[in-house]
Structures are given as structure tokens and as C-alpha cells.
Amino acid sequence: MAHLVAPSILAADFADLKTDLEMVEKSQADWHHLDVMDGVFVPNISFGLPVINAIKKHTTKTLDVHLMIVDPDHFIVDLKNAGADILTVHYEACTHLHRTIQAIKDAGMKAGVALNPHTSIDLLKDTITDIDMVVLMSVNPGFGGQKFIENTYEKVRSLKDLITKKGAETLIEIDGGVTDANAAKLLAAGADVLVAGSFVFRSSDPTKTIASLKAVEI
């Protein structure tokens, strides 16, 4: 499978969000990545259901929604109704991870699980065959524009080994500090989806930047 690119809308211009969404729609990007933050699980607040619902009205590409919130179970059905196609929850925020994964799938979405930089992939060995995508945080969650954590490459390789050993079909998404300087190495390690925020939206030509990420070969 060719790798996927998911621009992070958190880095877009929210005063002119429709223009940035249209740019992503017309680009070679595969998904829109939407970060929902509550100011509790992470030290920042982003946007919620009304914004996701509005984004859905102006997009046709997959909405990849990443919840950085406490008690994500309370919002699963609402997020499906708002337009989420893939819903990712944090391992660290789920008391009963398997139940949460099943609830996401029962609602009609793909289920993702995100791991913070300090969280071991070994904690997913009992649930990996139920998970559609694992999001490896390559920065500490909460803010864009952070420096990429170099240990991520080894973590990707370890996760890929787990997926292979368990016979799972789980995708690996990398979120945080992704640029053209590390994309090839991440893909070579086993990544399937690259999330890029600041690197795309702060570039002089975001469409060209997205195309460059899609064109990365290993």
C-alpha cells in the first residue's frame, strides 16, 4: 500500500479555514487530520463537535479525528454524527481500552489508539488485532511545531514487529514533527500514514509540500 498523507488542520488558518480545507481537498493529501483537545488531557484547547460538523460539509476526504481528551467514550456517537470516519483515542485516557475500541467500531468508524512518547507499544499486545490504526506521538501532545523525538524510529519498528507477529492489519500513523527530512526514514521503519501540520501550512506552497510528502520513496 502506498503511504498516506494527512495534513493537520490544527495548523491551518482558522480565520480562513474554508480556503485551507479546499486546498487540502484539491491536493494529493489523503485525509484531513483533526486534533480535538480539552485543556485537561493536554495543556491546550482546540475545537470540538461544531467545527468538525462544519468541516464535514466542505470536505469529501476522510476525517481522521484524534481525541486528546479525558473520557472519550462520552463523545463517540456524537463524533460519528459530526462526520468522523476514523476516531483515535489515547491509551492513557482509556480505563477499558477494548470496550472503547468496540464502541467506536459499533458506531461505524475505524478505531485508532494513540500512544504518548513515553508509552510502550507492548501495552497493545492484547488489543492490536482489534485496532485499525495506532498513532505514535513523535512529539509530546498538545501543541504544534515541536521538535521530532528521535526514538520514534525504533518505536515504529517495534510496533511493526508486533503487528506482523499478531497477524494484524493495523496501520501506523506518525503525528508530530514530520517533515521531508524524516519522512523516508519513518516509512522505511514501517509507517503508513504521515501527519504534517506546521510543515504543510507554514510552507510557502502547501500544495507542493503535500505533493512532496506523497512522493517520498523508500
Domain spans in the chain, listed from the N-terminal domain onward? 4-214
Question: Where do runs of H (alpha helix) occur along 124-205?
Answer: 152-166, 183-189, 198-201
What pLDDT, on a 0 to 100 scale, did the predictor assign at position 47? Answer: 96
What pLDDT, on a 0 to 100 scale, did the predictor assign at position 116? Answer: 96
Give the angle subtended at the CA of 183 by the CAs of 181 and 186, to the nearest 5°: 125
Query: Which among 185, 158, 191 has a CA at the least distance from the CA of 173?
Result: 191
Q: Which tens digits make up the pLDDT trace of 11-39?
A: 999 999 999 999 999 999 999 999 999 99
Residues in the chain with pLDDT values less than 70: 143-145
What pLDDT, on a 0 to 100 scale, did the predictor assign at position 1? Answer: 74
The Cα–Cα gap between 53 and 79 comes to: 9
Class of domain 4-214: alpha beta
The Cα–Cα gap between 88 and 111 comes to: 6
Cell triple for residue 147?
521538535
Q: Write down the pTM of the prediction.
A: 0.96
Active site amino acids: 35, 175
